[in-house]
Every structure is written in C-alpha cells, then in structure tokens.
Structure 1
C-alpha cells in the first residue's frame, strides 16, 4: 500500500508513510506506517463498537513525564490527535506481544529488554505529583470491567452470555471479590496507600521494541487514569500470567504461591519475565519520591496479584464484547476462577517483593 493511503492523506508526511501492518477489534483499530524520516507511526483509532473518536484525557496527558533515553526508561509515547485517533511515534513496527509468539530465544531476550524499559518508565510515571484538586479518574478498562461484572449496563449478546456463564462458574462470591478489588485499585485506602498517575493499559501489546536501533516505546494516552500503582504493575504481569497459561511456548505449571514448578526450554519463561519487570521497577535510583532510604517505590505484592486478575478478566470481557463469542471463553472462566481463588499470586514471583 502506498503512502497516499496514510490516514486518507491527512498526515504531515502523507506522501512518504507506507502502511506495513493493520489489525483491530470492535474497540480499537491499529495501523502501523513506516516513515523514512520518523521511523514508525502507530495510529490507534476507534473500532466499529467504539463510541466516538479515540482521545486522551487532556489534564492527565500534560502530567506524563518525558524521560531522557539515558535513564533506560521506555519512551512514554502519548501520541497526537490525528483524525479520529491518536498517532504515536516508535522505533519498531511490532509489539512485544507479537515478539512473544516468536520461538527464537533472541525474541524473548528482546521482550525482557523492553520490559526493563517499561518498568523504569512506569516508575517515573507513578512518581509524578498529582494536583490536589484532581478528581479520581479510573482507567477506562476498569469501568468496562465493573459494568460487565455488575451487570449495570446493557451488554452485547456474547458479553451477556459470558456474564451468565461467569455467574454459574464463579458464583456470586467470586464476582463480589473481583468488584471489591476493582474498587480498591481505583480508590486506594489504608496505611501508605495513595493514588498515582496510571498508564491504564500497561501491556505487552502497548510495548514496542525498536527494530534495530532506537528507544523502546510504551504507547500511552487514551487509557490514562489514576489509582493504585499496583494496577499498572498487575496489568503488565497479568499479560504474562495469561501467556504462561495459554501459549505452548511459555506454558508452565505453577505451585499456587507465585512460583513455577518447571521452566520452559530455550526461552525466558513467563516467570522470569515477571521477575525482570518487577525487579527493575523496585530498583532505587532516587526518581520515585516514595522512599528516603535510596530504595525503589513501595508496592503491595498482594494488590499486584489481585490487579493481575483484573487484567485477565478485562481481556476476557473485552474479547466477548469486541470479538464475539468463542468457546475458548469457557476455558477462560475456569482459569479466572483459579486466579480469583489464589488472588493472582502466580503473577508475583517470589524473591522480588
């Protein structure tokens, strides 16, 4: 496809950018363009079931820090409004989620490097002081989860079917626990708990390693919100929990206490990737503002595990809503019942908390 197809020719370099990838769901459409001068341009626009254009919360996006590459942090690429969506710049055309499907060991190492950058970027994001008059702003994914789990809004047929099955498989008690965890993640309470600026959808799908040279990018913007820092950590780790369960490349058995019973051969296991991410996030380099002893930001491992469960359930809910019904969702219900019962402990490897 030629450059003249770039967002209907409305871009600043419409004649130069070439479409290299396109995919999407009813929630979001992603198009990736290669530009000879700007590297790669990622456009996120509304899917067929998304009401209105994709936009950023203006007050929150102005708070996002732009850390220098020397810190090793991923670029928090907040994007610019472009047509009905957002346009991000990145040094790669493939997300870390796609690289995780590559069986070559070097692909796993590239993802591990990207997770290191993401952890440092999130640590910086979470250290941004919030204005005192800022109202609570839960990320959109949490709103979708709560509306689905509580049944407070009309649902498309596949999502309604999933909810009926969830009530049968989970029972009311598990659903209530899930909603309690969501409330705590959005409005943290208790000693030492505080709200921070959140990415809102920190995941391997939003993480873009460079093709050869350049900086890791964490595509950021429309999901920005506030709440527990553990929500972002659990969101990323929930991706890896789901990977370990679903992918033959990474599937390992867990002992129910956050530790793998066996490791995969040739690739860094999902548990190792979890350790890399949490270990780097917890490093102390003086940028977090959370401690005075030189240590890294303080987080609650139990809350991280619960937030990882929220991420897997949200993904399941979104699939039913934006991609229609699949019998695989019944397997997800059994899997998420296990995760709720163990409070997501497998998301938090021992020795990093």
Structure 2
C-alpha cells in the first residue's frame, strides 16, 4: 500500500487574518493554500455554486478565475501555474520582462466578462456583503479589534476630525450599499494584487490565475475595479513618499481599465479605491500590529478623503 506524498512548502506567510502557503504538489503542479488566521472574523466562507459557473464562463486560456480544487473548514487550495503573485512581483520591482501590462489588460477584459455573465440564477441573498468594507465599517463604528486596532482607530479619528471621519463612513457605506438603481452583479469581491498569481513561465497557460470564489459578493462592478486600482494607488503614493516614483503602477492601472472598456463609473471607482486603502490600513493594524509606518497613512487618507480619491483615476 502506498501513501500519497505531502506537498513541498515553497513559501509560507501570513497575518492574523489569513495564512498562505505556496506548495509544490505531488503531480508537479503549484498550489496556493489559504487558511483563516486566528483573528479572522469570518473564517468559514463558502463558494457559491453559481459563482463556479460564472468563473468558468468568464475565464479563457490566458486568464483563469480559478475556484478552489479542495477546501474544508475555511481552508482553500487552488491549482495555479506560478509561485508569485502580482503583489510580490511589484514589491520586488520584477516586471517579468514586461509581462505585467498585458496580464492586467487581459484581466480587465475577463473581469468585464465575469460581470456580464447572466446565465445563472443565483440571487443577491446567496452572497455576503463585501467582506473588506464590512470589516472597515465595523471598525469605524466603534469596534476595537486585535493588536493595534483600537489604538490605530483612536489616532486616525483624532487626526482626521469629525467631518472626514463621517465622510469616510459614507464612502464605506456606498461600497456596502450601492445606490438605488445602480448596476449590481456578482463580483470577485476581493480582487487584490495578492490574488493574481502570475505564471512562472511565459509558455505556461493560463498566464494568470486569479484566486477566486470565497470572497465573491453581490455588488457594483466598480467594487472589483476599485480594489485593484486602490492597491496600485497605495503603492504609487508610498513610492512617491519614499522618493522613488514607480510609473509602472499607473501603467498597470491604465491597462486594467483599458481592458475593461467603457461603462464604469469613475466616482465609484475613485471612492472605492479610498475604501480599499483604508481597509488595508485597518487590516495592518489589526492583523499585523503596530508599525511607525502607520503614521504615514494619516495624511494619505486625509488627502484621499478630501479629493474623493481623484488620484486613483487616469489623468484627463
């Protein structure tokens, strides 16, 4: 009798929200595994059957909205073609010989297809609200949290003042509750740079695997665009503060939006990007802990609220 060999752990990292392992699978494939961190407020998310069909229809040979091939008790495993995400590549300034712009353009095209799928009968009640914005709203409304969450909230509220704090609440409410009559559909729900896995080889297909399923939600299409655009804006502003501007981040934003095509609401993407950045700031304090870098987020967030995220959009 033979026993299946355990996968080799290629890398492992995590926070109080989520732990990630990149695995060399016994059959030669590469797996990405997510398990809930000890402080995850929603550790048992499920993948809706309707989303599985939507993801399959929206994928093509180059860009795959992959759903987990295995999962139980909040643990999810995806098969991919790469060991590094777009986030890791950008933080290491590795553009893989110019491959990222085409990846983001094609991601925009397939994201538009995902939002347009209408051949499934799933309903809004089948899906939770956007998890990131829900975490942020609970925190803004007085919730504490682990690690530095409480102290970070007190500092940010004091520095922003009552007017900006209320405006931030309104922006977050807008992500959770799209305006009456606004287009809504099933969306990826957490389209962060860390969810976009880039193939190790240019010959591999798919060239990009988007880890999908557990975060799917019913929201405006701009929710997905704002998540990715917001992360790229955060990287842009941080690089500029450090005196090391990175034009690539703006080019990737432009490629994503060009691939998606017309029809998205600029204000919703811009304000949604603000919410995404503040959510990340909250998550760092709550699930990683205190860092002196947190102080740099206060003026960044204040400026973004005052401008309603205008810097997130391509220049006119």
TM-score by length of 1: 0.79
Query: How many Å separate the matches in 1 of 2:213 and 2:231?
Result: 19
Match of 1:229 in 2: 221
Match of 1:145 in 2: 136
The alignment yields a C-alpha RMSD, in angstroms, of 2.6
Q: CA deviation at 1:182?
A: 2.1
Query: How many Å separate the matches in 2 of 1:322 and 1:97?
Result: 18
Match of 2:71 in 1: 81
Please say if 1:219 is aligned against 2:211: yes
Match of 2:17 in 1: 27
Please say if 1:198 is aligned against 2:177: no
Match of 2:291 in 1: 326
Q: 1:30 to 1:299 in 2, by over 3 A?
A: same
Greater RCO, CA 8 A, separation 6+: 2
Query: How many Å separate the matches in 2 of 1:339 and 1:280?
Result: 25
1:97-137 CA-to-partner distances (Å, cap 9, x unmatched) read 11112335x43723223222321232122113374853273
Asked whether the equivalents of residues 30 and 45 of structure 1 are also in contact (C-alpha less than 8 Å), the reply is yes
Q: CA deviation at 1:196?
A: 1.3
Please say if 1:300 is aligned against 2:292: no
Query: How many Å separate the matches in 1 of 2:86 and 2:291?
Result: 25
SS of corresponding position for 2:99: helix
Match of 1:239 in 2: 231
Q: CA deviation at 1:61?
A: 3.2
Asked whether the equivalents of residues 65 and 124 of structure 1 are also in contact (C-alpha less than 8 Å), the reply is no
TM-score by length of 2: 0.88
Query: How many Å separate the matches in 2 of 1:133 and 1:31?
Result: 33
Match of 2:92 in 1: 102
Which runs of structure 1 show a deviation greater than 6 angstroms over 4 or more consecutive aligned residues?
Answer: 248-252
**Matches for 1:151-300 after TM superposition, within 5 Å:** 151=142, 153-190=143-180, 193-212=182-201, 213-215=204-206, 216-247=208-239, 264=246, 268-282=247-261, 296=262, 298-300=263-265
Q: Which runs of 5+ in 2 are unaligned?
A: none
Q: CA deviation at 1:324?
A: 1.0
2:35 aligned residue (40, 45, 52): 45
Q: 1:100 to 1:308 in 2, by over 3 A?
A: same
1:251-270 CA-to-partner distances (Å, cap 9, x unmatched) read 67xxxxxxxxxx75xxx521
Q: CA deviation at 1:325?
A: 1.0
Query: How many Å separate the matches in 1 of 2:191 and 2:242?
Result: 20
